[in-house]
Structure formats: structure tokens, C-alpha cells
Structure 1
């Protein structure tokens, strides 16, 4: 039995509705899958960027921490240098005060004469030469000459040998030193410096560890004592 035109149109409409329904469902399925893939890719990109940001700030944090350590080390070194300079200044002031006290001794004729006699005799013993030359400050000539005359017989008796002493009156020690003498052997190649300044410097060098302990206390980091 042949279908009428109305029946054909009805079936065609039914088929078109079915196709449209299938297409709509397929489109929804594609959209859902695309949305899912989009969200997965978006999550992956977000996670990747988040890790990069975390790495960046971790690196920055380490750089800042390193800079803080360097700055702290520099500040500690500067503070340490300031402390060392302050200590050196204090020791320098102490030595200057001692030097001034020595200069005051040189202004006391009785004390200074006794001191010169000891320095001259010590110089004789240190050189143990038959001929020596002594230099002093110009203002000390008379006192040094007296010290020489007093100590020649003392020395000769002690070593059982003679000594010829020349007091140099052409080359004087600087007037701004605290006092004392320099004594040379015959050819001038050996010198004993018995000035008050040189004796103070020698004593300060020998006693510097004790001076530092007295002024600043023992160094806790020092393992050995010279």
C-alpha cells in the first residue's frame, strides 16, 4: 500500500527530529568533553605556573637570606675593626702617657743621672768592645760624661779589660726623644739603643700580651700563649 504524501511528510519530520535530537546530544557530549579537557589543561597550566612562582619566590628568599648574611658579616667585621681600633688607640694613649712619665724623669736631675749611669754601664756590658762611641742629646752631655767616668772603672774591674769611650759631640740624638743614649762599637756597625723611647718600645713589645689581658681581659678564642 502506497504512502500518502501526508504520511511521507510525517515520517520525514520524524526522522529529522530524531537526527536533530542525535545531533544535539552529540553536540552536548562534545561540549562536555571539551569543557573537561579545558579544565584539565587549565589546572595543569595553573599548577605549572604556581610551581614556577613558588620556585621564583624561594629563589628570591634565598637571595635575600644570603644578602642578609653578607650584610650581617660586613657589620660584624666593621664593629670588630672599630673595637680593635679603639683598643689600639687606648694602648697608644697608654704608651704616650708612659713616654710622658719618662720625659718627666729626665727633667729630674738626680733620678735621671742615676738612670743614665745604669744605661751606660748596661751598654758597655752589651757590646763588650774595647772601643765604643756614645751619642746622647745635646742637653745631656755633662750628665752622660759623668756617667761614663763613673762606670769605666766599674766595667773594667768586672770584665778585667780596658775600654776606650768616645762621647760624640758632633752628632746628637734628637732633642724630642725622652732621653737616654745610643752606644756603638768602633766601626759603628753594631749599635745598642738605650734611649728611653727604645727601652719603652721594647718593654711594651715584651709585655703587650699582659697589657692586653689587663686592659681587655683574656682572649677566649686564643688557644696558645706565647
Structure 2
């Protein structure tokens, strides 16, 4: 083998390695973007959900529905409800309508509801900050002994929906092949 042919083979090998490294680098960048994009969708959803809490009529109906759902999921004869401190008066007002809605929807007597007025959910996050800690609204319903917990807060529902629909979200954002990766 001549020196020229070895030199040519080395150059060809370096070229192939360079292209492979570039493809690998681009693939890693694409995967990183795919990983970052869905959480931004969650942040947008959190900001939109916080707007619902600002509409008193819509939020009142939503909290009543969340309470009825949590009571059904809990399946206990007595329930303790935790809410944000700003929602305490609203939930006190909604206890009887929620019990009536429960009885009408499920054809059985609604559980006894006690509102925890000592231990509150975190206050609402500051406006415009999707990453801020806090609770956007909703209820946490526990059994009387505290062993069974049903968190029906808006933030938890977004997280559950996100996890359940992550393949679909990725497919919508990046095309059908993105759902496989």
C-alpha cells in the first residue's frame, strides 16, 4: 500500500467521522429541544388556568365540580376539605350545593364535609409567573383519618394531564415521529 493511498484513506475516514460527529451533535440538540418544549406548554396552561380563578362565576362552578369529583373519588362517608385561604368563604358557601349535586349525580347520600380552617393550601402565585410556587385553585379532599388523599387542585390536574398526554403533545409539536422517541 502506498503512502498516498493511506493518506487518502485517512482523509476519507476523518471526513466520515466528522460528519458522524456533526449528525450526533445535531441529534442531541434536537432531543434537548424536544425535552424543553412540552414544559413550556405546561407553563402556558398554568397561566391560562390562573385566569379562570379570576372569573368568580366560572371559578365557583369549577370548585363545586372539583369538590364533587374528589368526594366521589375518595369514597368515604366523611371528608375533610383543604383549600386556599382566599377560597375559604367560597368553599363554605359551596358545601351544601356540592352535597346536593353529589346526591343528584350519583343517587346516594353525599359524605359529611368538614372544611379544614387551620391548614390551608399555598396562596395563589404572583401574576404572570408560571414557575412561581403556589396553588392556582381547587381542593384537596382527605378521609377523616387523613390516610386517603385526593388532590383535585388545578395544578395537579395540569400535571396529570401533561403526563397522560405527553406523547400526543410531542406529536403535535414535532410531528408523528417525535412521539416514538
> What is the TM-score normalised by the length of structure 1?
0.66
- Structure 1 residues 161 and 72: CA distance shift in structure 2, 3 A: same
Superposition CA RMSD, Å: 2.5
Q: Which has the higher contact order (CA 8 A, sep 6+)?
A: 2
Q: Structure 1: any 5+ residue segments left out of the alignment? A: 1-50
Aligned to 1:173: 121
* SS of equivalent residue, structure 2 residue 150: strand
Aligned to 1:96: 43
Aligned to 1:203: 161
1:60 positional shift? 6.4
More helix by share: 1
Q: Retained in 2: the 8 A contact 1:129–1:185? A: yes
Q: Retained in 1: the 8 A contact 2:139–2:152? A: yes
Q: Retained in 1: the 8 A contact 2:81–2:113? A: yes
Aligned to 1:192: 150
Aligned to 2:72: 125
Q: Deviations over 1:121-168 (max 9, x none)?
A: 000110110111111111111112222221123324535345221111
Measured in 2, the distance between the counterparts of 1:181 and 1:199 equals 11
Q: Deviations over 1:28-76 (max 9, x none)?
A: xxxxxxxxxxxxxxxxxxxxxxx5xx3x776666666555544444332
Alignment of 1:48-63 (within 5 A): 54=2
Q: Retained in 2: the 8 A contact 1:134–1:166? A: yes
* SS of equivalent residue, structure 2 residue 118: coil
- Structure 1 residues 60 and 148: CA distance shift in structure 2, 3 A: farther
1:173 positional shift? 1.0
Q: Retained in 1: the 8 A contact 2:67–2:139? A: yes
1:77 positional shift? 2.7
Range 157-166 or range 171-180, more displaced: 157-166
Aligned to 2:170: 212
Measured in 1, the distance between the counterparts of 2:61 and 2:87 equals 13
Larger Rg: 1 or 2?
A: 1
Range 144-153 or range 126-135, more displaced: 144-153
Q: Structure 2: any 5+ residue segments left out of the alignment? A: 124-133
Aligned residues: 170
